[in-house]
A and B are shown apart, each in its own frame.
Chain A
Amino acid sequence: MTLPAYNFAYLDEQTKRMIRRAILKGIAIPGYQVPFASREMPMPYGWGTGGVQVTAAILGPDDVLKVIDQGADDTTNAVSIRAFFAKTANVATTTKTADATIIQTRHRIPEERLQAHQTLVFQVPIPEPLRFLEPRETETRVMHGLEEYGLVHVKLYEDIAQHGHIATTYAYPVKVEGRYVMDPSPIPKFDNPKLDRSPALQLFGAGREKRIYALPPFTQVTSLDFEDHPFTVQTFNRPCALCNATGVYMDEVVTDDRGGRMFVCSDTDHCETRQAEGHAGPGLPQLGEHASSEQETTR
């Protein structure tokens, strides 16, 4: 028998061309979900197969790849995907946001502003922003076609009526160039403003759902809201315990069983860079110090 052998970056060249065509169509119609013949990948659906296929299709031998999950380079799945491309494509990898040409991400956008030569690849579980309002693909495609987005606003309005606030904190729907409503993937809404007019190319891959969509550089991306209930993002009322950063997204770390918490940067590269530059945070919390109370501010 012949034992299996694999191509550069795992996928065969025909498949890569198919994916590139979908990406190009996505770039031509920002925010539009392009169906593509997603392949089975050697990691499970839900682990980022869409993002991995997009990365595999655009990756060249000279690229420098960074992979993050929850903002961190050292979470197990990020390590696993980075190792996958290091092995199958033999490309250089980095944890430095500034050094990367391609950044594959799950659930975050790096704190550092991305540059024109960079591409951010998002892993997307459910690409359809209308899915939880209408489970049928046949229906939602028509709704997008007719620009029939009333239902999303009704949902946001119902949140306000029920809770006094829009109760969507991540995967917060956006409108792209005034046309398509798009799911930004489950990034916290804190990251939504970074999508807007980003100099970097932003690509979204959903493997199990077989969809690719894109935001070309400098695309206008607006988070949905109401005039009297403008879009707000989370802020944390204390700095990072390790690097003293403010205005960044934080992980809440439980430090003991008596209510002790500390808040640290979710973006590990950002945090480590700041620490290397000499910034230091307050460190471990005092015993019994309670969780910080976050608040929302308008952006």
Chain B
Amino acid sequence: MYVAVKGGEAAIEKAHRLLADRRRGDRSVPALSLDQIAGQLSLAVDRVMAEGSLYDPELAAMAVRQSRGDLIEAIFLIRAYRTTLPRFGATRPVETGAMRIERRVSATYKDIPGGQLLGPTFDYTHRLIDPDMAGDHPVEPGARRDVSGDVAGDAAYPRVTDILNGEGLIEPDVASDAEPGDLTRDPTGFPAGRDLRLQALARGDEGFLLSLGYSTQRGYGRTHPFVGEVRIGLVDLEIDLPELGFAVAIGAIRVTECQMVSQFKGGGEDGPRFTRGYGLVFGQSERKAMSMSLVDRALRADEFDENRAAPAQDEEFVLSHCDNVEATGFVEHLKLPHYVDFQAELDLLRMLRREHAAASSETARQEAAE
């Protein structure tokens, strides 16, 4: 008997119930606590905060739990909440030179003022599955460096790009007091400008940016990059309060910053010098920050009169496709019903086939007659 697509309501309800059941898993196993997720899956939480554009580890941990570990789904949950929040204002530009450093490496100098600091990195681990991971073995606390003799503030860990800039070897970063654009509050048009590009990249999908950055290394928009510096640590957020007439610190966030020193450009009154690619993301994610800095530099092709031919150099292409919440939605929407349009296509195809068959038999008849 013909059963129409009835009962959508009951079906959704049952599906949600089953989803909740599967999310919880075996009830004899204790449920994951938010502390466990934020503390032990902290890089997953960082990614959700970065691409969700909302710095809130607790909420991100809830989203990871609710999404069963599907990070794009978790990012989506955060975005759909973030978008309802009022925007009070913009902070002062973050001073990453005054970062409380947890990790900081440079590939351009063997030693730098403040030193190279490996921090909590996977870089030199051997990727052998550790049998200890099957259980909960005691782990000794990390050794803390003695910071008592350090110079305080900016002087302790000067940015490598500032050292280069001191010699005039790299294009200067021009400070601006203008409030940067916000693509979540205003419609974007093209060309978008570097502020909106950097915002889009900071929210963009790590995998997409990784592949685009990689493509520039393989010749599709080559930029001759060197990691001037990657640094991870806590920075203070300050906001200007007009009533007070000065800025106050409202908190601290962990960020990863990458300054990519790229292909030099010559000429002009300043002479040849290196150019910059910039990456900054919430939490600890070098992969994302480095990819972002490669793509940022590639997108500046027009500024340096470079031939714009590769995907990574194409602002409209990159910005229109780097958002994983948009991308996953539109790809996955193909599973929604399309039978009205499919019916229209069926009609046309059947008619074309009838005409084709009629034409073929007519040709065959004529040939037989000849």
Chain B residues whose C-beta falls within 8 Å of the C-beta of A250 in the assembled complex: 343
B351 touches A295 (CB 8 A): yes
Stretch of B80-88, B149-157, B211-219 contacting A (4+ beta carbons < 8 Å): B80-88
Complex Cα–Cα for A71 and B337 (A): 11
Query: Restricting to A131-159, which residues have a CB under 8 Å from any CB of B?
Result: 136-138
B339 touches A190 (CB 8 A): no
Q: Which residue of B lies closest to A106 (CB)?
A: B336
Known A-B contacts: A37-B187, A163-B352. Give 4 more (CB < 8 A): A37-B184, A74-B6, A251-B339, A252-B346
In the A-B complex, the 8 residue pairs with the smallest Cβ-Cβ separation, listed nearest first, are A46-B333, A45-B329, A35-B187, A169-B344, A44-B329, A79-B8, A40-B79, A170-B341
B4 touches A12 (CB 8 A): no
How many residue pairs link A and B with beta carbons under 8 A? The number is 167
A75 touches B5 (CB 8 A): yes
Stretch of A3-11, A96-104, A219-227 contacting B (4+ beta carbons < 8 Å): A3-11
Q: Does A27 contact B (CB under 8 A)?
A: no
Stretch of A173-181, A195-203, A262-270 contacting B (4+ beta carbons < 8 Å): A262-270
Q: Does B348 contact A (CB under 8 A)?
A: yes
Q: Does B243 contact A (CB under 8 A)?
A: no
Contact flags B327-359 to A (C-beta < 8 A → 1, else 0): 011111110111111011111101110110000
B340 touches A170 (CB 8 A): yes
A residues adjacent to B (C-beta < 8 A): 1, 4, 6-7, 10-12, 14-15, 35-42, 44-47, 49, 69-72, 74-80, 83, 106-108, 125, 136-138, 163-165, 167, 169-171, 186-190, 208, 210, 234, 241, 249-253, 255, 262, 264, 266, 268, 284, 291, 293-296
A169 touches B347 (CB 8 A): yes
Complex Cα–Cα for A46 and B341 (A): 15
A76 touches B8 (CB 8 A): yes
Query: With contacts A189-B344, A210-B188 known, is A255 near B2, CB below 8 A?
Result: yes
Chain A residues whose C-beta falls within 8 Å of the C-beta of B333 in the assembled complex: 44-47, 125
Chain B residues whose C-beta falls within 8 Å of the C-beta of A137 in the assembled complex: 190, 316, 320
B355 touches A79 (CB 8 A): no
Query: With contacts A40-B76, A49-B329, A293-B354 known, is A188 near B12, CB below 8 A?
Result: no
Query: With contacts A47-B333, A76-B8, A78-B8 known, is A37 near B185, CB below 8 A?
Result: yes
Chain A residues whose C-beta falls within 8 Å of the C-beta of B334 in the assembled complex: 46
Complex Cα–Cα for A208 and B8 (A): 25
Q: Which residue of B lies closest to A82 (CB)?
A: B9
Q: Does B58 contact A (CB under 8 A)?
A: yes
Contact flags B40-71 to A (C-beta < 8 A → 1, else 0): 00000000000000000011000000000000
B344 touches A39 (CB 8 A): no
Chain B residues whose C-beta falls within 8 Å of the C-beta of A46 in the assembled complex: 329-334, 336
Chain B residues whose C-beta falls within 8 Å of the C-beta of A36 in the assembled complex: 187
Q: Write 22 A-B pairs (CB below 8 A) sorted by A numbering.
A: A15-B83, A37-B183, A40-B76, A40-B325, A44-B328, A45-B329, A46-B332, A46-B336, A69-B337, A74-B5, A75-B337, A136-B316, A138-B316, A164-B352, A165-B351, A169-B348, A170-B340, A170-B341, A188-B343, A210-B187, A234-B347, A252-B346
Complex Cα–Cα for A165 and B350 (A): 13
Complex Cα–Cα for A244 and B256 (A): 66
A45 touches B325 (CB 8 A): yes
Chain A residues whose C-beta falls within 8 Å of the C-beta of B6 in the assembled complex: 74
Instruction: Count contacts on B: residues with CB < 8 A to the other chain.
Output: 57
Chain A residues whose C-beta falls within 8 Å of the C-beta of B76 in the assembled complex: 40, 44
A74 touches B350 (CB 8 A): no
Q: Which residue of B lies closest to A236 (CB)?
A: B347
Q: Does B11 contact A (CB under 8 A)?
A: yes
**B189 contact from A4, A35, A164, A170, Cβ within 8 A:** A35
B339 touches A44 (CB 8 A): no
**B336 contact from A77, A136, A190, Cβ within 8 A:** A77
Complex Cα–Cα for A75 and B5 (A): 6
B9 touches A79 (CB 8 A): yes
A264 touches B4 (CB 8 A): yes
Chain B residues whose C-beta falls within 8 Å of the C-beta of A167 in the assembled complex: 348, 352
A7 touches B84 (CB 8 A): yes
**B12 contact from A1, A6, A79, A284, Cβ within 8 A:** A79
Q: Which residue of A lies closest to B335 (CB)?
A: A46
Q: Does B7 contact A (CB under 8 A)?
A: yes
Chain A residues whose C-beta falls within 8 Å of the C-beta of B337 in the assembled complex: 69-70, 75, 77
Query: With contacts A40-B82, A44-B329, A79-B8 known, is A262 near B344, CB below 8 A?
Result: no
Q: Does B179 contact A (CB under 8 A)?
A: no
Q: Does B186 contact A (CB under 8 A)?
A: yes
Q: Which residue of A lies closest to B333 (CB)?
A: A46
Chain B residues whose C-beta falls within 8 Å of the C-beta of A78 in the assembled complex: 8
B326 touches A45 (CB 8 A): yes
Chain B residues whose C-beta falls within 8 Å of the C-beta of A6 in the assembled complex: 84
Complex Cα–Cα for A75 and B59 (A): 32
**Nearest Cβ in chain A — how far from B329, in angstroms?**
3
**B58 contact from A1, A83, A107, A295, Cβ within 8 A:** A1
